[in-house]
Structure 1
Amino acid sequence: MGFPSTPNLKLEPRPRTRRLLRCALSSEPVQPPMTVSITGATGFIGRRLVHKLLSDDHKVCILTRSASKAASVFPASTYPGLTIAQQGDWEACVRGSTAVVNLAGMPISTRWSPEIKQEIKQSRVNVTSKVVKYINHAGNADTRPSVFVSATAIGYYGTSEIHSFDESSPSGNDYLAEVCREWEATACQVNQEDVRLVLLRIGVVLGKDGGALAKMIPLFMMFAGGPLGTGRQWLLLSLVLQTYSIRWDPSHSVFRQMGFDR
């Protein structure tokens, strides 16, 4: 007697098995699971970052001001084991984390009234200040997160039609540059003796399921679009996620090649 046929059965490896297979086929060593606390997790980058971390078998704690919104974006049935922490529980999550990622901030793609401009700035500075305080008060180096990745933006440099900018360029003198300076200055208050601080100045991120591209496509569908720069200034969402995973892992091959591992 043979076994019953199951023509539609697909055997998929579990997430951890897939991760081990990827590591076995690559030159990267298998890294132990991390616990990562994230602000701004319900945003465009944050949602995908949470998904990537969980698929790589890491633990994630979402630091949110609205548990109901976070639960609607990350339903427990789809994201079992995900921790959603309201403000009163942020400190405990930060204390138990390997890394903290700060993505919080009100979207800037809106009409800028004086009140909105103030909210854009304060939504970034206030959350960053709170996270920095919790990291600095998280005990000694053994209990404190080892990495703090805080988002900022290329708006730091201002705008120019003739100049190119790099990390050594000075800050601009417009509103967004002011926001970025205060945002970064607040993040720099973290105790950097035993916490590695990473400031990521992110540009316009493109992804098919939201962000700037979702706002651009309708205009092009109505033949109202046009060239956006030279076409060489794009930043794909997948590259941003890869950058985050590299930045908080000093044992990554990129760091080993550059001599940054410790």
Structure 2
Amino acid sequence: MDTLLTLAADPAVWAALGALIAMEVVLGIDNLIFISILTNKLPEHQRSKGRKIGIGLALILRLGLLSTVAFIVTLTTPVFSILGQGFSWRDIILIAGGLFLVWKATKEIHHKVDPDPESVLAEGGSRAVTLGFGSAIFQILLLDLVFSIDSIITAVGMTEHVPVMVIAVIVAVLTMLLAADPLARFIDRNPTIVMLALGFLLMIGATLIAEGFGVHVPKGYIYAAMAFSALIEALNMLSRRKTHTGSER
């Protein structure tokens, strides 16, 4: 308790907490987009439950990893090298996660561009379920693990105080929980947003692979590109809405 009171009285700790919360929220966007796209393939009555479970798993993983910070830090130590390039367990996890994201996003884009008629419509013309609940949770868990390890290692580089990391993680995950359903519904209602989000996942996957091979890509560039693309799509949506309204009149 005395340690917590000491930390609370230190302005530098509050500054680190604010920066860490902002970073965790931004890093959580990648995870949230993946969860939203994946759970939108579930039956409607299971979607919200799937999102809550997926985000809950992210919280559990992050808090569990924080309890083993000393071990997590060792994941950045090279365990083997190829052609002079050292690879740590973190690198291996990032490469595997990036490859999974690229594969998943490519598969979903192919399905959107050239859908199987039998998988698009069920009896009565309703949209068929294309993913089982257990499969969705398993895939979310895999990506939660990748994003959690990357998030915790980044947090360790910003502060040495575990309570600060715990608070930042909890606030970020609660923010994800509040934004999950509105974001998923927005993506589901706008087909072009789905394709844009899948493009984001492709880019994020490629970035994870690059990071795993030791090529650092500043996160600011990635999120600036995502924000610019989202702005252009928002203008397109506004233009289509005005055109539709004008044609009705």
Q: Greater share of helix residues, 1 or 2?
A: 2
Name the structure, 1 or 2, with higher relative contact order (CA <8 Å, separation 6+). 2
Q: TM-score, normalising length from structure 1? A: 0.24
Q: TM-score, normalising length from structure 2? A: 0.25
Q: Greater share of strand residues, 1 or 2?
A: 1
